[in-house]
Amino acid sequence: MSRHSERHGLVLLEVLVALVVLSLVGLGALQLIHQSHELVGNAREWSQAVAYAEDGMELAKLGAPPHGPPGDLLPAGFRRQLIRRALPSAGRFEQMTVTVFLPGGGRFDLDRLAKVASDGTDQW
């Protein structure tokens, strides 16, 4: 075999190795893009849960239940619940918790304290 034909075989082998390395790098980049896309989606879902919780707390401050019975359904599979607990050890205070359940199984709790006036209304 001449040196000329050995050199062509070596070049072909180098090209194949370079293609394998390049494809592995490309696959890693695609996986990184996919994971960042999932993180953005999760952040968007949590931001929506926080907004729903704040909305529920504002409605509770106004004295209105958050859109009906406890555990009301919200768009995109979210669910919200308002719980009021009297705090006997703290005098005339109550703890209000708005819980938002995420479609993927997580939950977000927002707690506030309110002083209950003698007429039964909340004072913020």
**pTM more than 0.85:** no
Rg (CA), the chain: 29
Other beta carbons within 10 Å of 99: 19
Res 121: pLDDT:
58
In which element (H, E) is residue 108 found?
strand 107-116
pLDDT of residue 120: 55
Rounded-to-integer distance, Cα 15 and Cα 4, Å: 17
SS3 category, 123: strand
**What is the predicted pLDDT for the residue at 94?**
86
State phi, psi for 85 to the nearest 5 degrees: -130, 130
In angstroms, the CA 25 to CA 13 distance is 19
Could you list the mean pLDDT of each consecutive 10-residue stretch along the chain, which spans 124 residues? 59 91 96 96 94 91 62 87 83 88 93 76 55
pLDDT reported for residue 90: 65
pLDDT of amino acid 17 = 94
